[in-house]
Amino acid sequence: MKMWFLGTGAGRPNKHRNVTAIALQLPEPETGWWLFDCGEATQHQLMYVPLKLSKLEKIFITHLHGDHLYGLPGLLSSRSFDGGVTPLAVYGPIGLKAYIDTVFSLTETALDYEIVIHELEEEKQGIIYEDGRLRVEAGPLVHRVPCFGYRVEESDTTGPLLADKARALGVRSGPLFGKLKAGEAVTLEDGTVITPESVTDGVLRGRIVTVLGDTSPCEMAVLLGKNADLIVHEATFAAGLEEKAHEFGHSTTIEAARTAQLAGAKQVALTHFSGRYSNDELSQLVAEATAVFPHAIAATDLSMVKIDRVHERRAGQDEISS
C-alpha cells in the first residue's frame, strides 16, 4: 500500500501546500486506488503522481467543509474524460448527495459511469464496506459539522507456499498449489488432508490505515486508530494553541501524537497544517509531536508513505516486512 498526500493544508490553498486530499494506492495485484477528501485542485495535484482517474474506485469524504470538498465535482467530471466507465462509490455525511446532484444539475454535467453515493448517519459507527480482502469502518469525530474518520483494514493471508515441502507430502504442482496459496486445505487421492498451515511460511498480516478528518481529541479517533500501521491525523496548530484549536474543532501536534500513542499505532502522519506555518517550520511541529510519540512525520504535498505488510513467520523465524 502507498499513501499519497495530494494536499496537506487547512482552510485554503497557499504557497506551501494545497488543501486536503489523500490517495490510498491499493496493494498488488490491485491496480486501483481510493481517495479521502477532495479539496480544490485535487485533480491538478493528481497530474504529479502515478495514479489514473480511470482507476479510482472509491471516494471517502470526511465532512462537507469546502477545503475537503470543493474539488469533487471537477474530479468526477474529469474521470469521464479520462476513460472512467466503471461505477464509483462515494461515501460521506448526509448532504453529500444533494451537493453533487445540485452542481451537476446546474452545470448540466453528464457522466459516462454510475455514481453510487452512500450517506453516513451522524453519530453512527460501523462497517461501511467489506469485500473479503478490505474492510472500511467509519466513526464520528468532534468537529463543528458532522465529520467522520475512516479505518481501512486488510485481511491476513497465508505466507508464501513452501513448494518443496508440499511436493514431499504428495501435493502435485497445479490447481492444488493454487488452493493452498489461497488458504484452502486440499485432499490427496489417498485421503490425506494437507492444510495451508503445514506447507506455507507463516502469515502475511493485513495492514491497517486510519484517515481522520478534522477533529478535536476524542475517543473515536483512538478507536479507529487502534493498532494501525499508519494514522493520518490533522495537526492544524502547534503545541500551546489547544484552546484555539478546540474552538474550531481541531487538534495540535501534541494532541495528534497522543492519539497515536493511545491507539498503539506504528506511525502517525501529521497533516492539515494552518497557513501560518511554512514548510520550513514543519520540522519544529514534528519535534513537538515526537516528544510524545517518536514515530511522527509531517506530510507534505505530493509526498508518499509506503505501508509495508509484515510477514509473521513460524516459530524460530524472524518477522520481515514486505
DSSP string, 108-163: T---SS-EEEEEEPTT--EEEEE-SSEEEEEEE--SSS--EEEEEEEPPEE--B-H
Please check if 233 is assigned to a binding site.
Answer: no
Cα dihedral value 268, 16, 100, 60, nearest 10? -10
Is pLDDT at 158 greater than 90 in this prediction? no
Q: Would you state the pLDDT for residue 320?
A: 47
Omega before 146 within 30 of 0, i.e. cis: no
161-219 pLDDT per residue, tens: 888 998 999 998 889 888 888 888 989 989 899 998 888 888 889 999 999 999 999 99
**Ligand-binding site membership of 68 (annotated):** yes
Question: What positions carry a catalytic annotation?
Answer: 67
65 is in an annotated binding site: yes
Mean of the pLDDT values across residues 249-267? 98
For the segment 203-233, what is each residue's pLDDT rounded down to a tens digit? 889 999 999 999 999 999 999 999 999 999 9
* Domains detected in the chain: 2-157+203-312 (3.60.15.10), 161-200 (no CATH)
Cα–Cα distance, 296 to 32 (Å, whole number): 27
**pTM, full prediction:** 0.91
Inform me whether the pLDDT recorded for 237 exceeds 80: yes
Per the CB < 8 A criterion, the answer to whether 103 and 74 are in contact is no
* 67 labelled ligand-binding: yes
